[in-house]
Amino acid sequence: MMLNLGIIDHLEVYGKNALFPLIAKMRKNKAEVTFNLYTASEKAHVATLLSGSREKYGFCNSKALASIYDLSLRFDKTKQYLGLNYMDLLNAMGQEGCDFSILNELADDALSRKKSEGYTVTLLPGGGEGEHKRWGIKNYCQTVDSLFEGKSTPVTARFILGPDESHHTETIHKHTKNCSVEIYQSPTVNEIVSLAQTSDIAIANDCGPSHIFQMLEVPLIMIFGWKRADFSPFHIMSEWYHSSDDSWTIVPAAKDQSIHSIPVEKVQALVHAQLLLNERRATHKND
């Protein structure tokens, strides 16, 4: 995303790189400025120190390591949504008033003008980390297909699929008979921004593209699952869920501990509640 915005010239994914190869890659790039967004490893701090960059910025909770940086902020992942920390760093550097709205600059103009009649519901069924994050493609289809059954309001269901969901295309067409369907296979960041801008509501697993919808504060229902019996979604929601006036979360009941136990009717009820709220706001705005 930062590459698309033109904010950075190169991104080095920390991964499992050994220290000296990581330093060699960073020095080869000859970056004037380095940002270290990884806070949990002394190796990343040392690599930043030896990167050869003239300016260094990042997050650091150690006074000793903080001396590496021209500017660093303490990072408390239990305090707020992860992306807000990055906005704090940009603002601390002098980019006053920097917030998530800068993402709108990425929009694909042609796609941004594509708004269908009636309701546009965007569905993000991805979850690369595993099945505990995937509510299930048939649940998504059933949710949107029977959402306005018997009503005259047209509905467009937009499915955003990543590489791991490409095989769902046939299932989507088979199980969505009462609405128009648009499928976007591995869209670019620019396209995802535009799809977010033109959505009335989105339903998403905890997945990468959902964060663009969160940051743009699109009306959103986000579905979290349990990873294992001793690790509930509440451990990660403070870091990966951005609460806004139009966001909702659904987690499985503690007794079930499975994302697959969440009923379609529960998600549909929240969709109806949010769309009603949207309509009331529009009515008050026009009065």
Count the helices and strands in the chain (H runs, E runs): 12, 9
Cβ-based neighbour number of residue 94 at 10 Å: 8
Structural contact between residues 243 and 183, judged by C-beta atoms closer than 8 angstroms: no
Rounded distance between C-alpha atoms, residue 200 and residue 115, angstroms? 10
Rounded distance between C-alpha atoms, residue 141 and residue 113, angstroms? 25
pLDDT tens per residue across all 287 residues of the chain: 556 556 677 777 766 678 888 889 889 988 899 999 887 788 889 999 999 999 999 998 888 899 999 999 988 777 789 889 888 998 998 877 889 998 898 888 878 777 778 899 999 999 877 888 999 999 999 999 988 777 778 889 999 999 989 999 999 999 998 889 999 999 999 999 999 999 999 999 999 899 999 999 999 999 999 887 778 888 888 889 999 999 999 999 888 889 999 999 999 999 999 999 988 988 877 76
Structural contact between residues 29 and 15, judged by C-beta atoms closer than 8 angstroms: no
Is the pTM of the predicted complex or chain greater than 0.95? no
Structural contact between residues 200 and 120, judged by C-beta atoms closer than 8 angstroms: yes
Element (H, E) at 161: strand 155-161
